[in-house]
Every structure is written in structure tokens, then in C-alpha cells.
């Protein structure tokens, strides 16, 4: 059953419940609406490439725009229907820069939630993919101290939702409140191809995410594990060409291609927020067992709340735990014309391996809660790319130097309603 058909069936059921509920005089009170948004602009000192905060961004500040509003700007609205005391339906639609540089509205959440008991619930439909500390509020700038969550960690898994089912169960463990959440689903996503400028398709199947959260007073601890089968057909021409060169080429294709490849994610986070100040740290590792590579990342961040002002600082790092180059097929003994073809294939493989980002960012910023439900923020990031890598920069132009550093300046207005 396709994910779209599953969503239609789920909401047909919700509509049926809502029709029955219409017999009550107060059924309109069962609906509620809320929303959030960000208006922001970002500038990069790197003029020969764009600063891209995730793999879905086709452009950004730097080469394409001196000041880019596309990085953080978004608007979302959410409709909630309380069908009964136990059954709730949610639809959230978001408008933000897409893979094709348009702002077409997309459904971020669309699910039905059934509370079996006050501590046990299940959901079906499109739900949040729970892989990070601020998963539920990842795109809600107003709920976070920073302009955006640290890209080194949150760029590991840019996918934010899945179509399927999930369940959560709460129970006490000593002095802690413990919540365990399990998600199973799938997703189809599109992304801009960095070399050709085209569009790639990623099929993510059999998503399984397990999350355990412990809370006690101001302290929060979180552990995550996730896995899925990942297919990206855009790499097929490259690895099909390698297979034409016998067992040696087939070995390279088997090692790097993305066909139902098992991808794994593990993460851990800790946060402490007594109100007057906050501290949060997170570590994660993502391994695709393919040409996309294996990466680990972490950050530490803290700040103080001084009335309406919250100054903060963050250190974040992402590094590559897999090979960033490969010798490819040997050229020795090949006829000149064939050797040239093999050299092109080897170069394409190594170019893709070099796209895996590795960098360090030092950040400092301030949040000003200027009005009720509105926060103004300014943030400075100093990004230092690892030697020989592009980091989180794309649309590379002549004159760009792998490694090196760049300064990023962001201002944003976050709001909820």
C-alpha cells in the first residue's frame, strides 16, 4: 500500500468520526488551529560556493545570493481535530524552500492518534521522524534558542517525517519519567544533485526508529537508534559502468552502490534547563555503508537567560569515519582510450566520496524575546572546513578552495500563533 493511499484511508476514517461528532452542538470546538514561522536572511563570506544547511537546499548564501532568505524562512499551519476523548487528527502544512528552489506547500504531518491509556498511544499516517533531541520542534525556530539547530549534527538526517505508524509508552523508572517511542514507516524524497544540477530520488524503506527519553526535573536524557533501507538511483549509471569492467569493477559497485542499502543511525543527547540558563549536548553517527559514507557529529551549547535576552554559544563538529578517496580500477596495462574512460570513472567516484562534509563550527548568538510569541535572533558562525573537503558548501565555483574557512551571519524573526 502506498503512503498516499494509507494517508487517504486514515483521514477518511477521521472524517467519518467527525461526521458522527457533528451531531453534538459543540463539534466545531473540536477544531483548533496553530502555526509557526521564521523570516530570516543569511550572509556568507565564501563567495565561490553556497552555504547549504542540508542536502535538500539547492541554493544558499555565498555564490547564488549575497543575502539569502531561503535558509531559514518558512511558514507552517497546523489543524487539530479532537474527534473523541481518545482520538485526535493532526494535519500540518509547511511552506519553505524545496529541492527545486520553489515554495510549494507540503504536508509535514498528517496522522491520527489514539490514546489507549493516558500513558500509551499509537499514531498512523505521516508523523515526525524522532531521531534528535529537538525532533518535534526542529523547524519551529521560536521553540529553540538558536537561529537553527547545529547543521553538523542535524544535517546527518535531513529527513523529518515518515509515513507509517508509531507508538509511545510512558512509565516511571525510579525518580525518572521514562518515555519509549517506536516508529515504523517509509519515505520518498527528492534532492538536488550536486554535480549535474538535476534532481535525485531517494527511496527510504522499512524505517525503524527507537527512542528512549528519561526526564527528571530540569534534566533530559535521550537515546536513539534507527535503521532503514536506502536506494538512490542517481548513482546507477556510475556503478553500472564499473560493472562493465569485470570482477574488479563489480567489487567496487558492490561496495559503494545504493540499492536497498542498510543505513543506520545512533544518537545520544543530554539537556539541562533550570530556566535561568540552559546547556545541551548531542552526539550522533550515521552510516550508509555506501558511497555516501559514514559520519559522526556532535555539539555542545549553552546560554543564559537575562530577562528578555538569551546570549548563547555553540561548538559543533562533523567528521568522516569512512574513506574519502578510493584507488578505483587500475589503469596499468589498459589501452589509452580505455584507460581514459577508467580514469573518468575513478574521478567520478572520488568526487562523490569527497562530497561527504567534514567541518567545525564555532557559533555565538543572542535571542531577544521582543514581544509575546515573537523572538528576534542574530547569530555568527565561523565554519572551518577540514583539509581537502567542501564541508556543507555546494554550487562550487572556480576559485573555491577545499578546506579553508568562512563566516556566516544570520538574523531571524521567529513567531508562533
For the chain, which domains are there?
40-71+117-416 (2.40.160)
Task: Tell me what pLDDT residue 25 has.
Answer: 53
Please name every residue paired with 164 in a beta bridge, in sequence order, or none if there are none: 125, 185
CA–CA distance, 255 with 149 (Å, rounded to integer): 33
User: Is-contact 287 294, C-beta < 8 A?
Assistant: yes
**C-alpha grid cell for residue 396?**
562550487
Q: What angle do CA 73, 75, 78 make, to 5 degrees?
A: 150
Positive or negative: CA dihedral 315, 291, 96, 416 = negative
Could you report the per-residue pLDDT of 181-195, keeping only the tens digit for each?
999 999 999 999 876
Transcribe 159-201 into DSSP letters. --EEEEEEEEEEEEETTEEEEEEEEEEEEEEEEE-TTT--EEE
Could you report the per-residue pLDDT of 115-147, keeping only the tens digit for each?
999 999 999 999 999 999 998 999 999 999 999
Task: Tell me what pLDDT residue 19 has.
Answer: 46
Spans in the chain with pLDDT lower than 50:
1-3, 6-16, 18-23
**C-alpha grid cell for residue 412?**
531571524
CA–CA distance, 225 with 116 (Å, rounded to integer): 25
- 373's CB contacts (< 8 A; 6+ apart) are 142, 415, 416, 417
Amino acid at each position: 500500500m502506498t503512503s498516499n493511499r494509507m494517508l487517504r484511508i486514515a483521514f477518511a476514517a477521521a472524517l467519518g468520526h467527525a461526521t458522527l461528532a457533528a451531531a453534538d452542538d459543540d463539534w466545531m470546538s473540536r477544531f483548533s488551529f496553530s502555526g509557526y514561522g521564521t523570516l530570516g536572511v543569511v550572509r556568507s563570506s565564501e563567495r565561490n560556493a553556497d552555504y547549504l544547511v542540508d542536502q535538500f537546499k539547492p541554493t544558499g548564501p555565498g555564490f547564488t545570493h549575497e543575502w539569502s532568505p531561503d535558509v531559514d524562512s518558512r511558514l507552517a499551519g497546523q489543524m487539530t481535530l479532537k474527534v473523541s476523548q481518545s482520538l485526535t487528527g493532526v494535519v500540518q502544512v509547511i511552506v519553505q524552500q524545496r529541492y527545486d528552489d520553489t515554495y510549494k506547500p507540503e504536508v509535514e504531518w498528517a496522522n491520527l492518534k489514539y490514546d489507549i491509556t493516558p500513558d500509551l498511544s499509537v499514531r498512523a499516517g505521516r508523523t515526525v521522524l524522532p531521531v534528535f533531541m529537538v525532533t518535534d520542534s526542529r523547524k519551529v525556530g521560536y521553540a529553540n534558542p538558536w537561529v537553527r539547530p547545529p547543521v553538523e549534527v542535524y544535517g546527518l538526517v535531513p529527513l523529518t517525517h515518515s509515513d507509517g505508524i508509531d507508538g509511545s509508552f510512558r512509565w516511571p523508572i525510579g525518580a525518572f519519567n521514562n518515555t519509549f517511542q517506536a516508529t515504523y514507516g517509509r519515505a520518498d524524497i527528492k534532492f538536488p544533485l550536486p554535480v549535474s544540477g538535476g534532481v535525485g530520488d531517494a527511496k527510504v524503506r522499512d524505517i525503524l526508529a527507537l527512542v528512549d527519553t528519561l526526564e527528571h526535573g530540569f534534566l533530559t536524557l535521550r537515546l536513539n537508534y534507527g535503521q532503514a533501507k536506502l536506494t538512490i538511483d542517481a548513482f546507477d549509471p556510475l556503478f553500472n559502468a564499473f560493472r562493465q569492467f569485470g570482477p574488479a569493477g563489480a567489487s567496487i559497485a558492490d561496495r559503494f552502490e545504493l540499492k536497498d542499502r542498510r543505513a543506520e543511525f545512533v544518537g545520544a543527547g543530554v539537556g539541562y534547563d533550570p530556566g535561568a540558563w540552559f546547556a545541551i549536548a548531542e552526539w550522533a553517527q550515521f552510516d550508509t555503508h555506501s558511497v555516501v559514507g559514514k559520519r559522526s557529529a556532535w555539539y555542545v551549547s549553552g546560554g543564559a537567560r537575562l530577562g528578555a535576552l538569551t546570549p548563547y554559544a555553540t561548538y559543533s563538529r562533523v567528521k568522516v569515519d569512512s574513506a574519502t578517496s578510493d584507488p578505483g580500477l587500475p589503469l596499468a596495462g589498459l589501452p589509452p582510450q580505455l584507460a581514459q574512460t577508467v580514469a573518468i570513472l575513478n574521478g567520478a567516484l572520488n568526487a562523490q566520496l569527497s562530497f561527504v562534509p567534514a567541518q567545525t563550527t564555532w557559533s555565538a548568538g543572542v535571542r531577544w524575546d521582543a514581544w509575546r510569541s515573537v523572538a528576534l535572533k542574530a547569530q555568527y558562525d565561523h565554519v572551518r572546513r577540514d583539509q581537502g573537503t567542501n564541508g556543507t558548501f555546494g554550487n562550487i565555483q572556480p576559485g573555491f578552495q577545499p578546506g579553508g574557512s568562512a563566516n556566516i551571519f544570520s538574523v531571524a524573526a521567529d513567531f508562533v500563533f
